Chains A and B, each alone.
Chain A
Amino acid sequence: MSILDWIAVLFLFAGSFFFLGTAIGLLRFPDFYTRTHAAGKGDTLSSFLILAACMCYAISHSHDGLGTVLLVLKLLFIANFIGIGSPTATHAIMDAGYETGVTHWHKDKAK
């Protein structure tokens, strides 16, 4: 395995770790806002990391020059769309919740 492969493995593990964090946060946080926050941030970051792993893998394993460049470009575009779309969706959900009066969590209200 080349160095790029090891970097890809590293990225994959980091992405899976943050996905795990997202799932735990989504289940364990106390109210709507904090849960959405966990979903929005963790999801975006871990998608980025896994896409980066895909790029490293593509670079080290395919040998037709232009094809690799196009593949990496497509992955970059996907990353770009996730980067725009996911935080905006999170914002939209949170804003809708705020406008319709979902209450915050307070420490002294905790059971």
Chain B
Amino acid sequence: MIWQFDLILLTLVVIFALISLRVKDLMGASIVFGAYSFLMCLIWAGMGAVDVAFTEAAVGAGVSTVFMIATIYNTGRMIKPRPQDMSFKLLMMLVVVITGAFLLTAVNDFPEWGDPYSPVNDHVAAYYLTHSMSDTAVPNVVTSVLADYRSFDTMFETAVVFVALIGIYGIIRRRRKQDDSDSDTDALPPYDPSESLIIRQASRMMVPFMQIFALYVVAHGHHSPGGGFQGGVILGASLILYSMSYNLPTLFKKMTEKWIILLSAIGVLIFSGVGVICMMLGSNFLDYSVLSQILPATDSVMARSHAMLIVEIGVAFTVMCAMVGIYTSLASNGRFDKGL
């Protein structure tokens, strides 16, 4: 860490956050927000949290910007100023200032950055760092903590991603019969990028490589930064790129709505199914070491390593389908026939 570099990055982050709040054009605001996420990604990478940086780059700077633009496409591009009385704004400012003051008083109680005696570092972290290799044969401690030691948390995170998809479907999915009154978009002028041969060919060249790279990220998460979440987001992004450069019906030919929901549920099922199998073999939920009884040619250490891969694949399924499902429902305004 070079502190000058960090200072520049943190200053820029604050500036970008303020800009994205101030800009009246929502399209510009979401682009600035993407740049903000990318700077955060650089800060994570500088702190050594490469896995977090990877996720931030894929989710924050990549896919969430696309989600916001898809939302703008169906709502409206400009902020319409709402007449509000001044006293309400002053009240809100008072609330924010008081909350901020409380938060700032808590800053003093934080331990120093990287303090070896802070509560985070002297509890279980040392055990994970020293025993990850001998317990699970996984050199990347982030993966072993995420998918083995703390897999209960990760299972419910996956379930949360699944629930988010279901929630968005439940809110904006519409039946095709009753949609005669929804050409109400005052958003972007109609422009169809799928008419451009250049964009089509470029995406045809990029999408397969993106998918292979995503599979590599999923499978190689044991040894390098990456894992189910990052790989799933990249897979989802490749499908989103495909549907943007052609159009939505082309994507639905490859991957129908039914499969999107089904595969995202299957992802959660794989994760929790591994846990249930562990219980059936007479151990605790998600205690992978007993899987050596059914996985061929593995001892109890390698069983944990292999089970992590299975679990990460489940996570990747869920995350990929959540990304594609959220994008398609936002871009087509819940109709799933055409859009963006």
Contacts and interface: CB of A to CB of B under 8 A. Distances in A.
Given A99-B191, A100-B189, A92 B206 contact: no
A96 B191 contact: yes
B201 to A, nearest CB: 9
Interface stretch (B142-150, B192-200, B288-296): B192-200
A95 B196 contact: yes
A20 interface: no
Interface residues of A, number: 11
B226 to A, nearest CB: 14
A91 B196 contact: yes
B202 interface: yes
Interface of B: 189, 191, 193, 196, 198-199, 202-203, 205-206, 209
A84 B191 contact: no
A60 interface: no
Secondary structure at chain B's binding surface: helix, strand, loop or mixed? Answer: helix
B206 A84 contact: yes
A80 to B, nearest CB: 9
Secondary structure at chain A's binding surface: helix, strand, loop or mixed? Answer: helix
Nearest to A81: B206
A93 to B, nearest CB: 10
Contacts of B199: 88, 91-92, 95
Contacts of A84: 202, 205-206
Contacts of A100: 189, 191
Contacts of B189: 100
A109 to B, nearest CB: 23
Contacts of A85: 202, 206
23 contacts: A77-B209, A81-B209, A84-B205, A84-B206, A85-B202, A85-B206, A88-B199, A88-B202, A88-B203, A91-B196, A91-B198, A91-B199, A92-B193, A92-B196, A92-B199, A95-B193, A95-B196, A95-B199, A96-B191, A96-B193, A99-B191, A100-B189, A100-B191
